[in-house]
Structure 1
Amino acid sequence: MKEQLRSIHPLAWTIIAGTIFGRMATSMSIPFLSIYLTTRLGVSPFHTGVIVSVSSLVGIFASFYGGYISDRIGRRKVMLVSIASWALVFVAFALAEAAWAFFVINALNGLCRSLFEPTSRALLSDVTPKEKRLLIYNMRYAAINVGVVAGPLLGLLLGSASTGAPFMVAAGVYALYGVLLLIQFARYASDLRVGTTTGEAPLRMREAFRTASRDPIFMPILLGTVFCVMGYAHSNSTMPQFLSLSFAEGTRWFTYMLTANAMCVLAFQYPLVRLASRFSPVNSLIAGNLCIAVSLLLFSMLNTGWLFILDMVLFTIGEVLLFTMLDVLIDQIADAQYKGTYFGTIGFNNLGSVLAPLFGGWLLDSYGQTAPLAVFVPITLSVVLGIPFLLVARRRLAQRTARIAAETGEPVQQLLS
């Protein structure tokens, strides 16, 4: 393991370290946005859902363009411009006072995130040998959760549900992250993908999108994970609103749930990934979908804080199975030329993040927090709608793998690793 860690490219270490502090800063503020809007500004659950969901709505389109353009002009330009803009967005969050302002600013938040994230994942793929990408993607996911362990607790202490101060902290962190990237990009410029090279046919967006959309494995994965992401997104929209409206200490318990979620990811990630790597990666997505769905259903039947935290353990298992293997799966099926495009296009599954706050907010407005089953049973059913698409993807991946194995003579298991 020591040798593997030493061989990781410095740019990859920069992204991992930046991810830790960036997610710590973000989780101090963004997860509390729906509570802030509902309790401080008096916005209705549905309109809160509209404000929360606009970030993902913008991100659906921006993530594809970000991945595409990074293939075209290089990772460096996209990452530096987006992270500088992101720091300014968090300053605007801290200064905003009206609901419409939060709508506009959260749209810009989604734009910056969806340009930076797929490009940074593509850069990790660029600077990491194929045999070490599972390790690096899991390290990135672990870094996210290291940051989220402390972030919500710091946010609670700083009053994230009632003040904009944590947004200023996030702005400072992302500004420093951008400066560090600028230094590292200059130092390792020769290792960067700089875009389409001279004499190489330029990538065109229509061609790139057609390549991804006609992939018989990628498309059912994309459609299936829309519903998976929809289930996950309720943890940042419907669940905190329900808790804050139902319990006097709802905000505090939501904070503890976020911290428990991150700690469980760190504890479960490597054992679960080691187990999941023995099977088709699509099986992880299916299992993750089921865990999240069952957790959401159980959430409607609980009434004490500690039980909500225990339920979050099951939710976290589903999250780990879903998100740790998704990057590996996309890396596995994408052509090298279109790697950034595939990572960007999978961002269309954030349609689930758009639908979840709207659907959950509408259910809360219609039935209220006093009828949890009427809210969470429809939510659970909407999540499991993703399973048929994932079953189709599993069958097609198995057929493709068997065909390649027959042509090359390589073992099927080696092709899946």
Structure 2
Amino acid sequence: MLMRLNSIHPINKVLIFGTLFTRIAVFMTIPFLSIYLYKVKGIGLEMIGYILGTSALVSIFGGIIGGGLSDRYGREKIIILSILCWSLVFIGIGLADHLFLFFCLSGLNGLCQSFFEPTARALLSDLTKQEDKLFVFNLRYTAINVGAAIGPLIGLWLGSSNNTFAFYLTSSIYIIYGIVLLVVFHKYKINEKTVELTKRIQLKEAVHTVKNDKVLLFSVIGFIFGFIGFSQFGSTMPQFFENAPHLTNGVKIYSYLIILNAITVLMIQYPITRIGKWISPLFSIMIGILFISIGLFGIGLFKTALFLVFSMIIFTIGEVMMFTMTDLFVDQISKPSLKGTYFGVMALSILGGALGPAIGGVLLGHYGFAASEIVFGILAAINAIAFPILIYVNYLNKKRGRRTDSTL
């Protein structure tokens, strides 16, 4: 293990460690943002859903643009600019008082994330040998989940739902991260290839592929519904736990559930990925969809902490079964010459992450916090719509003779 760590490129080490600290910073602020907007700024529940959804909506298309810009102008420039812009976003959230500003800042948050994430992953890939890529990407994924476990505790301690200090602290962490990256980028020069014309045709190829490949099209639609369900974790749930009349210390319970989610992901990630030995990625994703729906309904149904913990574990198992198998599934349904296009088109499923918070906010506003069974029951049903759609995808795969068997 130590030898493999030493073999990682210095820039990649900074990216991974930076991911750890910035994720800690993000998770001590963003999960509490909806509560902050409701309690401190007095913004309505439905409007909060729209604000949070703006970030996801912008990120859908920002990733395609950001990835293209990084190919054309260099990964270092896009990474540094997105990090510095991100730091300004968190300062802005702390200073903003007007609804319009929160919409703008939420959009900028999604834009910065969509520029940074694919560019950072591309740079990790650029600087890593083929045989070490899985190891490096797993380190980054682990850093994300460790940050998700530690961040909410710090956010709870700092009172992120009631004051702006955590937002300024997060901004400072991003500024430090950007400065460190500037230093290592200067020390370790990267030779980047210019973008060829054929690579700039990807969007046209993507449109053509979506129109002609029903497997890909219905997969995207199914994943949109899956993302609608999963997005409730960071949008509707914190509002519910803060205001549910049957819960005392709801924010603290939610914070612990976030930590439980991250720890559970770390514990079950490897065992669940081994499921690929026996079942297909698509079947794993379908089971994951059902688990997420069951977990959502349990969150709304149960009133005691023990059963809420059980529901979150079920939700998390579904999350891991869904997301750890997605890349393998896309790889299997893609045409060899268009793998990049297929992965790019599948990113459109993030639309569910934009719709989810808005739908959750509307339901909370209409039914209220006391009718949690109805609110989360409807959300669970919407998420479960993905299941029959993916059954149809499986039918199309078999009909066309596409290979989506287990390969791990």
Q: Give the Å deviation of 1:64.
A: 2.1
Q: Which amino acid aligns with 1:400?
A: R
Q: Give the Å deviation of 1:17.
A: 1.5
Match of 2:206 in 1: 209
Alpha-carbon distance in 2 for matches of 1:255, 1:11: 32
Which residues of 2 match residues 72-91 of structure 1 at below 5 A?
Answer: 72-91=72-91
Q: Give the Å deviation of 1:145.
A: 0.8
Alpha-carbon distance in 1 for matches of 2:376, 2:283: 25
Q: Give the Å deviation of 1:253.
A: 0.9
Match of 1:150 in 2: 150
Match of 1:407 in 2: none
Give the stretch that moved more between structures: 261-270 or 9-18: 9-18
Match of 1:219 in 2: 217
Give the stretch that moved more between structures: 241-250 or 318-327: 318-327
SS at match of 1:162: coil
Q: Which amino acid aligns with 1:210?
A: V
Deviations 1:53-82 (A, max 9, x none): 111111122122223333444433322221
Normalising by structure 1, we get a TM-score of: 0.87
Asked if the contact 2:333–2:403 (Cα under 8 Å) also holds between the matched residues in 1, the reply is no
Which residues of 2 match residues 270-285 of structure 1 at below 5 A?
Answer: 270-276=270-276, 278-285=278-285
Asked if the contact 1:79–1:116 (Cα under 8 Å) also holds between the matched residues in 2, the reply is yes
Structure 2's unaligned 5+ residue stretches are none
2:271 is aligned with 1:261: no
Q: Which amino acid aligns with 2:302?
A: L
Asked if the contact 1:70–1:195 (Cα under 8 Å) also holds between the matched residues in 2, the reply is no
Alpha-carbon distance in 2 for matches of 1:70, 1:350: 21
Give the stretch that moved more between structures: 123-132 or 163-172: 123-132
Deviations 1:95-116 (A, max 9, x none): 1223332222111111111111
Match of 1:112 in 2: 112
Structure 1's unaligned 5+ residue stretches are 403-411
SS at match of 2:28: coil
Alpha-carbon distance in 1 for matches of 2:207, 2:131: 28
Q: 1:80 to 1:297 in 2, by over 3 A?
A: same
| % identity of equivalent residues | 38
Aligned residues: 403
Deviations 1:344-383 (A, max 9, x none): 5433222111211111111111111111222111111110
Alpha-carbon distance in 2 for matches of 1:167, 1:363: 28
Q: Give the Å deviation of 1:156.
A: 0.8
Asked if the contact 2:294–2:311 (Cα under 8 Å) also holds between the matched residues in 1, the reply is no
Match of 2:195 in 1: 196
Match of 1:300 in 2: 300
Give the stretch that moved more between structures: 228-237 or 9-18: 9-18
- Of residues 235, 252, 273 in structure 2, which corresponds to 1:237? 235
2:135 is aligned with 1:135: yes
Deviations 1:132-181 (A, max 9, x none): 44433333222111011110110111111011111111111122222233
Alpha-carbon distance in 1 for matches of 2:133, 2:335: 15
Q: 1:92 to 1:252 in 2, by over 3 A?
A: same
Asked if the contact 2:333–2:402 (Cα under 8 Å) also holds between the matched residues in 1, the reply is no
Deviations 1:186-226 (A, max 9, x none): 44434x543315xx645135435336635555433322221
Q: 1:338 to 1:401 in 2, by over 3 A?
A: closer
Alpha-carbon distance in 2 for matches of 1:48, 1:344: 29
Alpha-carbon distance in 2 for matches of 1:397, 1:3: 42
SS at match of 1:401: coil
Give the stretch that moved more between structures: 104-113 or 341-350: 341-350
Q: 1:48 to 1:344 in 2, by over 3 A?
A: same
2:31 is aligned with 1:27: no
Normalising by structure 2, we get a TM-score of: 0.88
- Of residues 226, 246, 251 in structure 2, which corresponds to 1:228? 226
Q: 1:271 to 1:289 in 2, by over 3 A?
A: same
Alpha-carbon distance in 1 for matches of 2:392, 2:14: 38
